[in-house]
């Protein structure tokens, strides 16, 4: 999207937001929006009219604003309710990310015990073993695609073991996850995604049947127990929750590990500083979360009541989408916002969201990234980008900032 094109665009579409071209130039575009048009009009097909939010203060306000709802049933009447775009939509959308209080509190309470500080720390040795095992496989080759060989398998193995699902199915999860986070109302994409989500539902049905017969000490067994008690979890909520934990349990961390490694290799002075001062790792992770936020855009919020923001009327049923990536580069909050600085102080980024929907797995993602990056630097101190920076491609994806691949040698 060139400067000339930016001036002529009055409404952004879902397909533009999801394009590789947009990802390549998004930060410059966001910078213009923050200056002159902090509410940018969107056309989201069947979802209707929406607004893209780019400033940090607006993001903080709206992420916890009571007039915005995650469950569209709390906004639309039965007559206004849109038809499902996908056959399996109802089965996979009844999770806490699409819910409002009090349902959200009930659903979050069912799983938050597995993500307490104590429970996460107990996973440290296991995560370290996984990181070492993955590097053992590739180190003799002195080359790997960081995404496929390291950043993806590490968190998917961790969440699979927490949930109690077979590791051999992890490649299927990768395909299904992409179908879930790939927003598109293009007919051919809808048909393909619907087929993939149908496969996912069949898999979940089979998995739940097995867990009912042979419960274990895993998170899915605990959720099935809650579902069997009737008042805690419906069957649709059970399937939706398992889906969310599989997808959210690895997608963000894959991008955090990959984007952080990429940022370090693109900023040699910061990379060398981290090598020399490994105690800066926690600060470096926070800066990586801010600089290349793994989740670029939030999922949809619906306007339940009209309100005014920055002089613009937001009408009932309007969609609000917040650019976490833009908010995290807001110059009014972050001095030298476009500079990658692993010693940045007072780093108030919102890469994991804010308010009720703050990411439940944030602490786990941080620990996985800390172990993954520390182990990589210790065991492969001479890693280099294989190829030129301009050859690295961001995925065309609505929600995430994710590299297609990251080839490195060591």
Share the mean pLDDT of the chain: 91
pLDDT above 90: residue 113: no
Q: What is the pLDDT of residue 1?
A: 46
Q: What is the pLDDT of residue 388?
A: 86
Q: What is the pLDDT of residue 79?
A: 83
pLDDT (tens digit per residue) in 329-344:
999 999 999 999 999 9
pLDDT (tens digit per residue) in 209-263:
999 999 999 999 989 887 766 667 888 889 999 999 989 889 999 999 999 999 9
Higher pLDDT, 4 or 242: 242
Q: Domain 3-409 has what CATH class?
A: mainly alpha
Q: What is the pLDDT of residue 197?
A: 86
The structure's pTM equals 0.92
Higher pLDDT, 91 or 52: 52
What average pLDDT does the segment 102-131 reach? 93
How far apart, in whole angstroms, are the C-alpha atoms of residue 328 and residue 306?
Answer: 27
What average pLDDT does the segment 333-360 reach? 97
Q: What is the pLDDT of residue 173?
A: 85
Higher pLDDT, 174 or 300: 300
What average pLDDT does the segment 170-191 reach? 76
Residue 318 has which token pair?
């309007």
pLDDT level of residue 124 (50, 70, 90 thresholds): very high
């Amino acid at each position: 999207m060139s400067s000339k094109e930016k001036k002529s665009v009055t409404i952004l579409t879902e397909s533009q937001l999801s394009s590789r071209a947009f990802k390549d130039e998004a930060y410059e575009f966001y910078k213009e929006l923050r200056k002159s048009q902090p509410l940018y009009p969107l056309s989201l097909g069947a979802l209707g009219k929406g607004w893209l939010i780019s400033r940090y203060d607006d993001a903080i306000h709206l992420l916890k604003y009571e007039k915005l709802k995650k469950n569209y049933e709390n906004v639309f009447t039965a007559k206004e309710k849109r038809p499902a775009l996908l056959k399996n939509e109802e089965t996979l959308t009844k999770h806490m990310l699409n819910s409002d209080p009090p349902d959200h509190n009930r659903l979050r309470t069912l799983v938050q015990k597995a993500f307490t500080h104590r429970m996460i720390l107990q996973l440290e040795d296991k995560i370290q073993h996984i990181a070492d095992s993955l590097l053992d496989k590739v180190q003799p080759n002195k080359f790997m695609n960081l995404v496929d060989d390291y950043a993806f398998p590490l968190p998917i193995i961790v969440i699979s073991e927490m949930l109690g699902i077979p590791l051999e199915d992890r490649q299927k999860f990768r395909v299904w996850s992409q179908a879930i986070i790939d927003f598109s109302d293009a007919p051919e994409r809808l048909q393909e995604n619907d087929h993939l989500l149908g496969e996912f539902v069949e898999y979940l049905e089979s998995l739940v049947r097995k867990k009912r017969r042979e419960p274990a000490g895993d998170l899915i067994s605990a959720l099935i127990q809650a579902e069997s008690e009737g008042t805690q979890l419906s069957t649709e909520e059970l399937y939706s929750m398992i889906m969310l934990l599989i997808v959210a349990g690895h997608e963000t961390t894959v991008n955090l590990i990959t984007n952080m490694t990429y940022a370090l290799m693109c900023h040699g002075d910061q990379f060398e500083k981290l090598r020399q001062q490994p105690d800066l790792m926690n600060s470096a992770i926070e800066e990586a979360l801010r600089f290349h936020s793994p989740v670029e855009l939030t999922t949809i919020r619906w306007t339940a009541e009209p309100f005014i923001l920055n002089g613009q009327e937001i009408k009932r049923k309007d969609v609000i989408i917040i650019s976490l990536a833009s908010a995290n580069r807001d110059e009014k909050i972050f001095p030298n916002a476009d500079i990658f600085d692993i010693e940045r102080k007072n780093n108030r980024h919102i890469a994991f969201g804010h308010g009720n929907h703050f990411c439940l797995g944030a602490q786990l993602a941080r620990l996985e990234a800390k172990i993954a990056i520390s182990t990589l630097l210790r065991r492969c101190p001479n890693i280099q980008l294989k190829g030129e920076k301009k050859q690295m491609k961001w995925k065309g994806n609505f929600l995430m900032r994710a590299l297609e691949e990251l080839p490195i040698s060591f």
